Chain A
Amino acid sequence: MASEAATSVIEVCKSGNAGKTLVVGLGSPILRDDAIGLHIVRALADRLPRGSFSIMEAGAAGLGLLPLLEGWERVVFVDALLWSAELGSGPSPGRLHQLALDQLHSTLTLHSSHEPSLGDTLAVGRELGMALPEHILVFGVEVSDPFTFDDEMTPGLAARVESLADQIAGQVVTS
């Protein structure tokens, strides 16, 4: 089943990550569209140069992310996102947003009910003297249904995975 593949986290080495980018896909593999971040990072594996990028899938948020973030030059998150008025225009499932750290209320994993926000998490880590990435990019993909148990995404969204991966790869390789 899908969750099996999703558990295969690529092992990352804490040392020797300076100058490298970690790409983290967030979400649950069994909540329909919530899995979009996981599917996109799998598709990114073929699109990013191996030496300077590592890819991982995670269901964690908040303080649970801190140990993952340590040592990297840059971290890129890909998460599902629910449309809200501040995103402008109407809802459009499959649309890609690049979010600022203070704009994460609507992402599904990064904004958890049981964790501090990503911004606070990073601030805590820095207070503690951890070597945290200078650059954090957050990509949110609008989804329509992250509330139904299903290991398949809605077809329209599933069809967008490859092009979304292309878009994100384009931005993270050049930026």
Chain B
Amino acid sequence: MNKVTINPITRLEGHGKIEIFLNDDGGVANAYFQVPELRGFERFCEGRPVEELPRITPRICGVCPDAHHMASAKACDAVYHVDIPRAAKKLRELWYNAFMAGDHATHFYVLGGPDFVMGPTADPAERNILGVIQKVGLDVAKRVIRQRKEAHEVIEMLGGKPTHAVGALPGGLSKSINEEERVRLLEIGQGMVEFGQFSLQLFGDVVLKNPDYMDLVMSDAFTHRTYYLGLMDDDNRVNFYDGHVRVVDPDGKEFVSFTASEYREVIAEHVETWSYLKFPFLKKIGWRGLVDGPESGIYRSAPLARLNAAEGMATPLAQEAYETMYSTFGTKPVHQTLAYHWARLIEMLYAAERVVELAQDPEITSPEVHKVPTATPDEGVGMVEAPRGLLIHHYKTDSNGIVERANLIVGTTNNKAGICMSIKKAAEGMIKPGKEISEGILNIVEMAFRAYDPCLACATHALPGHMPLIVTVRDWQGNVLQEIRRDG
């Protein structure tokens, strides 16, 4: 069997690489996406007071510290059986939505967007934020930076610090806000709504009006019929901060719905010998390997999956955009992986509208933002939707609140199987028996996994994104037949 390895060249041997195995005819046999897992989280947490975890877990990475902070604080609430005050719930949700709006903007304009704005075949040297600036103008870059800055301003106001916030604790928040701060939150939210609308307009002009891009989006190479899941409110509308998880089957029919404490009944984790990272799948359907369809327990998570699993968006402008997307595709669920980018922008607008809604709620200036936990701590699960997928923190403590066990399922992990399938399918389109493997495979494979916005910072620090790539084609004895390489 021949082996093609696409490797960010600076990783340690055996870590974070894409491997494409060829069969004897030279066609694609399988594709694997390998990432290193951070070791020893459970042991690190053991013996620590559980209330420390909301401050420790954001340190796992600098990309989505707020997602870990929130999931951790919610798990602590559950461990202490405390129902936090309404104002605290609203402020946490507001903070979390501001974070989501900032994060999604970064992905679209810095990582995912360049493929479309510059074109999938553009020179990699131009296929980045600088290229985007050249093409759509400086004002957009200013606006992206403002979005991030203002998201950080919200996080600092509510969480005490702009990154690695500390404000959420078991029972609520450590501080309330005043009227002046509320007005500022509203102003920030309104700016984010405008930018959300602008971004969807840009996506419409650049992608939807370009038949070549739409052909690519609709192509079989980027399509998988899988299950989808996402966190929902009581009306089955997307919610990033709280609710129940709804799972739909490949036809869009509700398969199961579960709350945080029930996750283990629904999700199991499959282990492969070649990967450190486990593959979560739907227990009831079972693991059938890296294949899609209703018989395979593989599900997908993150923006497109959330929209597919939902019956709608909870805010008006996002709902309008949601309807436009589904009427454009004419089906629901949408199985086209590249539609993750579109779904991400719809979510960015939703997050912004939600910030505005919550900032208009007079209750958020209530001084009642913390309820002192009094119950004996034992076990709890906290869930949020991280930008890159469902994030679950599960802690078990002794009666003094000292951690005995901790388990995390992180966003990107939920999409591991989907990412592997997407890479395989993209590779199948590019690698044909008897045909030389061209440099085009780099772009197409990159696009396939970039749609998921894979952040492996929870699992490693420095994987794809802006990546140097090397593709090595070897014969079965390991001799190099061909090497395609692009540095940085």
Residues of A within 8 A of B (CB): 1, 3-4, 6-7, 28-31, 34, 58-64, 66-67, 82-84, 86, 102, 105-109, 111-117, 120, 123-124, 127-128, 146-151
Contacts and interface: CB of A to CB of B under 8 A. Distances in A.
A66 B145 contact: yes
Nearest to B103: A114
Given A82-B12, A113-B463, A128 B40 contact: no
B119 to A, nearest CB: 18
B52 interface: yes
Given A28-B61, A105-B9, A115-B106, A147 B455 contact: no
B351 to A, nearest CB: 17
Given A102-B488, A128-B145, A149-B40, A84 B10 contact: yes
A146 B59 CA distance: 13
Contacts of B164: 7, 59
Main secondary structure of the interface of B (DSSP, over half): loop
B10 A64 contact: no
Contact of A59 (B65, B110, B462): B65
Interface in B117-175: 128-130, 133, 138, 141-142, 144-145, 148-149, 152, 161, 163-164, 166
Contact of B468 (A4, A105, A107): A105
Interface residues of B, number: 60
Nearest to A83: B12
A84 B457 CA distance: 19
Nearest to A106: B10
Nearest to A130: B145
A43 to B, nearest CB: 20
B465 interface: yes
9 contacts: A64-B152, A105-B8, A105-B468, A114-B107, A128-B141, A146-B461, A147-B38, A148-B40, A151-B44
Given A7-B166, A147-B38, A149-B38, 12 more contacts: A28-B60, A59-B62, A67-B149, A106-B462, A107-B462, A112-B62, A113-B455, A114-B453, A115-B110, A147-B460, A148-B40, A150-B40
Contacts of B38: 31, 147-149
B200 interface: no
Contacts of A67: 149
Contacts of A58: 163
Given A114-B107, A115-B465, A128-B138, A7 B161 contact: yes
Nearest to A84: B10
Contacts of B8: 105
Contacts of B63: 112-115
B371 interface: no
A63 B106 contact: yes
